[in-house]
Structure 1
Amino acid sequence: MSASEKAIVLSKIKYRDNDLIISCYTQHRGLSSYLIRGAFKSKRPGSIAYYQLLSQLEIVENYKPNQALNFIKEVKSSYVYSTLHTNVIKSSIVLFLSEVLTNVLKEEEQNNLLFDYLETALQWLDSENNYANFHLLFLLKLTKYLGFYPDTNNMELGVFNLQSGYFQSNNTHVYAISLENNTLLKLLLGMNFDALHTVKLHAEQRQAFLNMLMQYYELHLGYFKKPKSLQIFNQVFK
């Protein structure tokens, strides 16, 4: 069955000599994988470039239910990035976030709100010059769609507990976060991307908050593993 679909590329691996397997998050079916035959010998201009990490595509797919790998009959960009794959720092963000998304997005079902969030957030990153803290807010907001967004009731109580997902008065609990991370968390909760320029952090603060977020993901997603690119990514933002 042929069908049109919007897709965001999460990962890609070379298969055999000339083929490519890509994993995408699609608008109507969630996670889906495709075999691109002859991707590395295609004479069509830009054929490989379509499948860069986090690229936003419009595809015509040959879809068969219960088939592990589907096929793409036609492809074009639904949004052409200006900087995401050419700016070195943004490319590092793309590599890191694509690894996180590959790790956490497991559902093969429609989630329009999540797809719209990914699409809009990545377009924002592509167009902005002040983006040093983008990944922090992106990962925090992503938890809303994954089912463990921090409970914002009783924020005045004090310190956030990573395990429970609630703010509590006891700041000695093993999963109570540092006061500095707590202050930043309260600042970011409810913030939109356009306000990120008001958040001023140095590298150590940024890394500490990111490491805290990774622990939060680990506690609430049993299958989550820290990205292999995390250490290199932190080096980029020193």
Structure 2
Amino acid sequence: MMINSPAIVIHSLRYSEADLIVSLFTKTSGLRSYLIRGVLKSKRGKIRASLFQPLTLLEIEAFHKNKGSLERIKDAKIKSVYTTLHTDLIKNSLVFFIAEVLKNSIQEEEANIDLFEYLETALIWLDTHNTIGNFHITFLIKLTQYLGFYPDVSHIEGAYFNLEEGVFQFSSSTMYCVSGDQVTYFKKFLGTTFEDSMSVKLSKGIRSELLTMLLVYFELHLYSFKKPKSLSVLHEIFN
């Protein structure tokens, strides 16, 4: 079956001497993996290896067998040209972190249009703004909404947040209940826009603790999730 779809590059892996296996989150078909032959040696081909940098927004024409095997791309081109995402050191570090988070979070070979549109909007926002210190915090919190475990705010006045249940509580009930400054600041991000969240003032320590808390939250709610290897780089840059 031939499909035409916007797609976001999640991951690419060199395969043999000249081939790439690329993982794309497509708007029409969810997460798919493609084998692209000869792309690392071809200089004149229609499909170039440079198209498959992490989180690049593409338009693809592809052939899907829908049998759980590697699919084939017939054509690919840039959908939205980034101006800073792959050249700015801080943004590029965020790109690798986000790509790892998505690689460990998205598994389904089915369309999730709302998630795709959220990711596209978030990436373009990151590319076009300079004040981005809290972007990764906001991004992760908003992502939970599309993955199905956004925090229940029914009792948001509670001093504890139960990471396992995703609810606020007035007392601690398990080892996964957290409290203190990280919960106080966590509440400030809930329901905010990217723009508004940038005005939340965080110390380096609190930002680091909040990020660690969120990644534990992801681990508890997504079976296959692992902490990104790029986390240490992110901590270095934002600290």
TM interval, shorter chain, is over 0.9
How far apart are 1:172 and its partner, in Å?
6.7
2:138 corresponds to which residue?
137
* Distance (whole Å) between structure 2 residues aligned to residue 16 and residue 107 of structure 1: 27
1:62-77 → structure 2 map (5 Å cutoff): 62-77=63-78
Shift of 1:174: 2.1
**Number of equivalenced pairs:** 238
Matched letter for residue 44 of structure 2: R
Q: TM-score, normalised by structure 1?
A: 0.96
1:151 Cα offset (Å) = 0.2
Of 65-74 and 179-188, more deviation after overlay is shown by 65-74
- Indicate whether 1:19 and 2:19 are aligned: yes
Instruction: Indicate the residue corresponding to 1:121 in structure 2.
Output: 122
Aligned counterparts of 2:2 and 2:43: Cα–Cα separation in 1: 24
Shift in Å, 1:232: 2.0
- 2:151 corresponds in structure 1 to 150
**Are the aligned partners of 1:9 and 1:54 in contact in 2 as well (CA < 8 Å)?**
yes
The 3-state SS of whatever aligns with 1:198 is coil
| Map of 1:180 onto structure 2 | 181
Q: Quick one: distance in 2 between partners of 1:222 and 1:106?
A: 11
SS at match of 1:75: strand
- Mapping of residues 87-236 of structure 1, within 5 Å: 87-171=88-172, 173-236=174-237
1:44 correspondence with 2:65: no
Which amino acid counterpart does residue 212 of structure 2 have in structure 1?
Answer: N
What is the letter of the counterpart of residue 16 of structure 2? Answer: R
1:45-75 deviations in Å (ceiling 9; x for gaps): 8812211000000011122121411111111
Q: 1:171 & 1:44 partners in 2: Cα distance?
A: 62
Q: Answer yes or no: is the 8 Å Cα contact 2:138–2:189 preserved in 1.
A: yes
- Which deviates the most, 195-204 or 213-222? 195-204
Gaps in structure 1 of 5+ consecutive residues: none
Greater shift, 17-26 or 37-46, is seen at: 37-46
* Segment of structure 1 superposing worse, 67-76 or 24-33: 67-76
Unaligned runs of 5+ in 2: none
Shift of 1:171: 4.0
- Helix, strand or coil for the counterpart of 1:218? helix
Does 38-47 or 58-67 show the bigger shift?
A: 38-47
Shift of 1:2: 2.2
Structure 1 outlier segments of 4+, above 3 Å: none
Shift of 1:197: 2.5
The answer as to whether partners of 2:135 and 2:198 remain within 8 angstroms in 1 is no
Contact conserved, 1:131 with 1:196, CA < 8 A, in 2? no
Q: Is residue 162–residue 178 contact of structure 2 (8 Å, CA) maintained in 1? A: yes
AA matched with 2:111: Q
